[in-house]
Amino acid sequence: MAKVLNSVVESIGRTPLVRLERLTAQAGVKGEILAKLEYLNPGFSKKDRAALGIIEEAEKSGAIKPGQTVVELTSGNMGTGLAIVCAVRGYPFVAVMSKGNSEERARMMAALGAEVILVDQLPGSVPGQVSGGDLALVEQATKAVTAERGAFRGDQFHRDGNWLAHYHGTGPEIWDASHGAVDAFVDFIGSGGTYAGVARALKERNPLIKCFIVEPEGAAAAAGETVTQPEHPIQGGGFSSGANVAAALRLLRSDQSGKTIAVVICDSGLKYLSTDLWS
């Protein structure tokens, strides 16, 4: 039975799992794609889960003090999630982001009460395509702001609250909604939290489930390949949602034909209207 929630934070998670049957029919493939619609979280992305998980872990361990400032490097989605969670929990939040990311996300974080620090890209960098060098500059700025303000660093790439949020939430939700009828899971890795948490949760329930990582051509670092195209356009979010579905379709055309594949729709495409995704 539906109930009245005490804050918007309590609405994070429990997103729908939707069968993309028109897409598979149009593509002429056998099998099913089940899409976990994470853009229906209050911050419009899966990163709301990680934001809440990290803050709750820090509160439990005493790593964060009441009213302490929180700082995090973000491409926008993690920052939006942290802006919401921190506003409700009473922590000032500072988001540090490259100017190469879409301006909609910077505006969204600011509208939610975050202080947004935008870091210039390297000379020659392409707007909308944040390179490894651009990210290095953002990391440098994030470390400086964290030290200057005596802040708690969100550090989504290293804190267990990230993957645990998907281990306890996203993964079991996919399993329950599908009644365990999942043969494979596909996800693009950014911080790796979603993939790690969901894959572990699903494999604990059925070790035969196959889990696949999606990477851009020329930037398949996890596959051990030499990175030749670090300026690929996948910022995390709308682009990676499309990559996940495209990868699932490719699998259904090959060795996963006839199977049921779960994917994460990380956020919607509405944060990318100013990028070449819509050009």
Which pLDDT score, from 0 to 100, does residue 172 have?
A: 98
Which pLDDT score, from 0 to 100, does residue 75 have?
A: 86
Which pLDDT score, from 0 to 100, does residue 216 have?
A: 85
For 47-153, give the CATH class. Answer: alpha beta
pLDDT tens, 168-188? 999 999 999 999 999 999 999
Q: Is the pLDDT of residue 213 over 70?
A: yes
Residue in 67, 153, 81 with CA at minimum distance from that of residue 114:
81
Which pLDDT score, from 0 to 100, does residue 279 have?
A: 67
Percent of the chain at pLDDT > 90 equals 77
Rounded to an integer, the average pLDDT of 50-71 is 98
Parse the chain into domains and list their residue ranges.
Answer: 8-45+165-272, 47-153
Higher-confidence position of 101 and 14: 14
Count the neighbouring beta carbons within 10 Å of the beta carbon of residue 171. 27
Indicate the pLDDT class of residue 260, thresholds 50, 70 and 90: very high
Same fold, 8-45+165-272 and 47-153: yes
Q: Is the pLDDT of residue 119 over 70?
A: yes
Contact 81, 53 (CB under 8 A): no
Architecture, CATH, for domain 8-45+165-272: 3-Layer(aba) Sandwich (3.40)
Indicate the pLDDT class of residue 248, thresholds 50, 70 and 90: very high
Which pLDDT score, from 0 to 100, does residue 236 have?
A: 56
Which pLDDT score, from 0 to 100, does residue 129 have?
A: 76
pTM of the model: 0.91
Q: Hey, what are 32's tokens?
A: 């099913």
Rounded to an integer, the average pLDDT of 131-155 is 95
Residue in 150, 137, 151 with CA at minimum distance from that of residue 98:
137
Rounded to an integer, the average pLDDT of 143-165 is 97
DSSP string, 181-239: ---EEEEE-SSSHHHHHHHHHHHHH-TT-EEEEE--TT--TTTT---S-TT-S--SSHH
Count the neighbouring beta carbons within 10 Å of the beta carbon of residue 228. 9
Which pLDDT score, from 0 to 100, does residue 231 have?
A: 66
Which pLDDT score, from 0 to 100, does residue 5 have?
A: 97
